[in-house]
Amino acid sequence: MSVHHSSATANAHLVQTGDALHRVLYRIAERATAGLSFFEFLQATHQLLGELVYARNFYVCLYNPDNQTLDFPYYVDEKDGDTMQCNGVPLRRGLTEYVLRTERPQLIDTARFGELQASGEITEATGDLSFSAWLGVPMQLRGVTGGALVVQCYEAGNSFTDSDADVLSFVANQFGSAIERHQALDALRQSEARYRSVFENLGVGVVVIQNERMVFVNPAMSRIVGRSQAFLLSQPFLACVHPDDVPLARERQALRLSGAGVAPIDGIRVLTDAAEVRHLEVSGAVIDWEHAPATLLFAVDATQRIQAESSQREALYRQKELNDLKARFVAMASHEFRTPLSSISSSADLLLHYADRLAPEERVEALQKIHGAVGRMTRMLENLLQVEQAEAGPLQFNPSPHSVAALCRSVVDEVHSAIRQRSTDHAVQLQLNLPAEELKHLLDEGLWRQMLGNLVSNALKYSHQGGVVEVTVSSEPYQLCLVVSDQGIGIDEQDMPKLFEPFHRGRNVGQISGTGLGLTIVRQAVAAHQGQIDVNSSKAQGTCFTVRVAAPRVEQ
């Protein structure tokens, strides 16, 4: 049974099922133009839907606004059977009507069903109501809510999720277009004598192309492409096609006329009279028009749906990025805070229970460990705050004249000293190539210290024993060029795209400690100086960071 139990995984599940969703939608579109009866088409769709969500019990509802009734052309249920499959059902305050009334997907379990009954939202539900979970989504027909798709299950403990609602909504979007398309083709098959009248009043755009000109255009097509019927009938059939899609449209037209296979649903863009881009889904067939071959095309305006799906995909991607960021933060915090907290705890216990037995220098050492651990945690929190501030808006940038050589030497000495204190056996040779002492540039001292400090710290930390770290700063009239290179572990090629993201750490860092914030802060500091940063690295051979920032030289 393909029922998902954790709503926390809904977004991730929808991304993972993207390929299956695409395949199912494509096959639904195929069934809509396969010459099936309407019931056969719905039956085939039911089978396809089961590949995406639990759909053992499934029905389709169509709303008739003119007489305020509902049609149930397809209704399969293990409890009700097909007894509910009927037409002309008066509107009530039932479950399906609640979806149509709210125009939103509705996830309803036993508890919520009771609440909706108590509130008066649902008072006339019909059929077997012993379900454990019920999911209904609205379906768009001709631009308005014209029906609903519903799945339900009776097994205790099972439930539908937001992910299932998203999947069923995607299907409903395509399903509505497929129903319109199927209804149009069905109407054509039922009464060839009335086809002109049908096309004239159909909500789907219809056009007949013959000898590369449009010889018939219905009003819906005129509305969809935003051009008058007179204009369309007087122009070549490619007149309103987006220039980038003209070669594709011409190729598809030639393939149809030759009898070659063409995808059941084509996507094409058109330009309205106001130069607005609209996305059309087009299906067609070769027909005989006034004793000559022609192409009959059906077009549905899919602009709003495509934009909505694009926005939804973008939101899902942003949610996935946020989930990844949270996971990396939790991993970093649990690892990086544990060590200093452990040091504080052990040193405090030592002082608490054995202070009178410790020599003075041992007590000082314990206090120094506590002080160092607190300092480490404080720096981590300061880094977190800076990253958060930079994400919220530009960092404060306060440039002033500084001797570049003196500032760089101060930063490098401070970092090198801290590295040696943490690991006395980590011997790395450090080479400095700095400009003349008297050369001054306008730069933000705090940001420069963070930028250079993090690059040098990383280079030393990830270098092999006996390796060489080289720091070169070049002074130019209007900028500074900083190059920090090492012969260390390098950066895995797969880590490059996320190198500057918060909390991201390379897969080859092993047990080397770090928060994954250093390069994020470097990137923000470089951006504040209106600069750019480039990385060149080979795994196990070393890394070279090149930074160029706008920092005018101060004339003496």
pLDDT at position 335 over 60? no
Q: Each residue of 146-185: b (16+ CB within 10 Å) or e?
A: bbbbbbbbbeeebbbbbbbbbbbbbbbbbbbbbbbbbbbb
Report CA torsion sign: 285, 288, 293, 295. negative
pLDDT at position 220 over 70? yes
Average pLDDT over residues 248-255: 85
Higher pLDDT, 183 or 86: 86
| Span 393-422, pLDDT tens digits | 566 788 999 999 999 998 888 888 777 766
| Cα–Cα distance for residue pair 367/347, rounded to 1 Å | 7
Where is average pLDDT lowest: 128-132, 172-176, 310-314?
310-314
Q: What is the pLDDT of residue 504?
A: 66
The gap from C-alpha 256 to its chain's centroid, in whole angstroms, comes to 36
| Cα–Cα distance for residue pair 340/105, rounded to 1 Å | 49
Q: What is the pLDDT of residue 337?
A: 61
Among the listed residues 146, 98, 147, the one whose alpha carbon sits nearest the alpha carbon of residue 125: 98
Q: Let me know the angle formed at the C-alpha of 415 by 409 and 416, rounded to the nearest 5 degrees.
A: 85
Q: What is the pLDDT of residue 324?
A: 66
Average pLDDT over residues 496-506: 76
Higher pLDDT, 495 or 263: 495
Q: What is the pLDDT of residue 212?
A: 87
CB-based burial label for 284 (10 Å; 0-12, 13-18, 19+)? buried
Average pLDDT over residues 165-170: 89
pLDDT band at 147 (very low <50, low <70, confident <90, very high): very high
Q: What is the pLDDT of residue 480?
A: 94
The gap from C-alpha 419 to its chain's centroid, in whole angstroms, comes to 40
| Span 432-491, pLDDT tens digits | 999 998 999 999 988 898 889 889 888 888 888 878 999 999 999 999 999 999 988 988
Q: What is the pLDDT of residue 292?
A: 83
Q: Report the DSSP beta bridge partners of residue 543.
A: 537
| Cα–Cα distance for residue pair 363/369, rounded to 1 Å | 10
Q: What is the pLDDT of residue 329?
A: 56
Q: What is the pLDDT of residue 206?
A: 84
Among the listed residues 493, 420, 505, 496, the one whose alpha carbon sits nearest the alpha carbon of residue 460: 420
Instruction: Kindly report the CATH number that applies to the domain delimited by 191-301.
Output: 3.30.450.20
> Taking the domains of the chain in order of start, what are their residue ranges?
7-189, 191-301, 396-556
Q: Let me know the angle formed at the C-alpha of 371 by 370 and 375, rounded to the nearest 5 degrees.
A: 115
Q: How many CB atoms lie within 10 A of CB 16?
A: 12
- pLDDT above 70 covers a percentage of the chain that reads 79
| Span 382-400, pLDDT tens digits | 655 565 665 655 667 889 9
| Span 268-312, pLDDT tens digits | 888 888 888 888 888 888 888 877 888 888 888 888 888 777 777
Q: What is the pLDDT of residue 326?
A: 60
pLDDT band at 90 (very low <50, low <70, confident <90, very high): very high
pLDDT at position 356 over 60? yes
Residue type at 70? L
Q: What is the pLDDT of residue 170?
A: 85
Q: What is the pLDDT of residue 379?
A: 63
Among the listed residues 7, 52, 281, 70, the one whose alpha carbon sits nearest the alpha carbon of residue 171: 52
Average pLDDT over residues 230-259: 86
User: Considering the chain, what is the average pLDDT of its residues?
Assistant: 81
Residue type at 503? F
Q: What is the DSSP string of 206-266?
A: EEEEETTEEEEE-HHHHHHHT--HHHHHHSBTTTTB-GGGHHHHHHHHHHHHHT----SSE
Instruction: Kindly report the CATH number that applies to the domain delimited by 396-556.
Output: 3.30.565.10
Q: Are residues 424 and 465 in contact, defined by beta-carbon separation less than 8 angstroms?
A: no
Q: Token pair 């050492």 is at which residue? A: 365
- pLDDT above 90 covers a percentage of the chain that reads 29
Q: What is the pLDDT of residue 405?
A: 92
| Cα–Cα distance for residue pair 187/202, rounded to 1 Å | 10
Where is average pLDDT lowest: 11-15, 233-237, 404-408, 467-471?
11-15
The domains spanning 7-189 and 191-301 adopt the same CATH topology:
yes
CB-based burial label for 25 (10 Å; 0-12, 13-18, 19+)? buried
Distances from the Cα of 206 to the Cα of 219, 232, 233, 247, 442, angstroms: 8, 12, 13, 21, 67
| Cα–Cα distance for residue pair 172/150, rounded to 1 Å | 10
Instruction: Kindly report the CATH number that applies to the domain delimited by 7-189.
Output: 3.30.450.40
pLDDT band at 321 (very low <50, low <70, confident <90, very high): low
Q: Which of 175-189, 210-224, 345-359 has the highest mean pLDDT?
A: 210-224
3 state SS of 95: helix
Residue type at 29? A
